[in-house]
A and B are shown apart, each in its own frame.
Chain A
């Protein structure tokens, strides 16, 4: 009798403990990431579908500056992911000062990405005359899907920079725990991960077709 009861309590799915063995904040962030991943994949699928089904789909991404810029942007995001992982690592060892330093380095990477991306946008708008509503090739859907996809991603990066700024400020003042830094890291890595698909599908593929 008591053994059966103990077995029931031990089973994580019976309320005997946390089934995922992670905190609720972290699980919440994972659920958000899942829903956000579906949003981005819908936009990526829409972009790719329209590109394949439109014979005169424009390819205004020349090697210089678009591909060079987007490659450097990829480098910035990948490096900021490394510094973020170092921030989480430092916080795990209770080193708050190092954590703040690494998070600030991450923010610098994110800001560099945003600045480069905006100049890449301005290049498209001013030199290739692409706007969200029209372009010289007569394929307004190109601008619509391109700016929606990259714009939503850039919004995520900007929100991430603000989010990390708040975390760095609070950690520096002795507030927040390891889990809070780790959760913000999850968000930042996800933003990096999404770019790993936007970069080849939007920029690199247009070098060929």
Chain B
């Protein structure tokens, strides 16, 4: 590896304390998810809450544990379209279609 790349690799952000805070936050969110599964809430709200919490957890892991928050913006912009594609596939194409086939079966 060139000297240039070595020089660029300065590691800002992320102290031991911040990692432990993130870990605690992730554990608390997991606990909330498990509690939510046994609360009397409508299925749609629960699914939204579960997915919402999962996305927040994933964002925390990517930003701090995987260090993406401290990388150049160009890397984030290169990786991010994949996430948009996944969400579009799931929310716009597959979910409404699966619900439609469920209704067709029931009737």
Interface residues on A, range: 35 or more
On chain B, the number of residues with a Cβ less than 8 Å from chain A's Cβ atoms is 55
Q: Please pick, from B50, B72, B75, the residue contacting A204 in the complex, using a CB distance under 8 A.
A: B50
A153 at the A/B interface (Cβ < 8 Å)?
A: no
Main secondary structure on A side of the interface with B? helix
Q: Closest CB of chain A to B33's CB: distance in Å?
A: 5
B65 with A189: CB separation less than 8 A: yes
Main secondary structure on B side of the interface with A? helix
Q: Closest CB of chain B to A162's CB: distance in Å?
A: 21
Q: How far is the CA of A41 from the CA of B94 in the complex (A)?
A: 12
B75 with A17: CB separation less than 8 A: no
Q: How far is the CA of A48 from the CA of B51 in the complex (A)?
A: 12
Q: How far is the CA of A89 from the CA of B54 in the complex (A)?
A: 25
Please name the residue on chain B nearest to A84 by beta carbon. B65
Q: Please pick, from A22, A27, A82, the residue contacting B20 in the complex, using a CB distance under 8 A.
A: A82
A49 with B19: CB separation less than 8 A: no
Q: Please pick, from B8, B20, B57, B79, the residue contacting A196 in the complex, using a CB distance under 8 A.
A: B57
**Residues 26-64 of chain B: 1 if any A CB is under 8 Å from the residue's CB, otherwise 0?**
110010011011100001001100110110011001101
Q: Which residues from 45 to 87 on chain A have a C-beta closer than 8 Å to any C-beta of chain B?
A: 45, 48-50, 52-55, 63, 67, 71, 74-75, 78-79, 81-82, 84-86
Q: Which 3 A-B pairs have the closest CB atoms?
A: A52-B98, A200-B50, A207-B37
Given A34-B79, A208-B37; 6 other pairs, CB 8 A cutoff: A12-B74, A20-B75, A38-B86, A50-B98, A186-B66, A201-B54
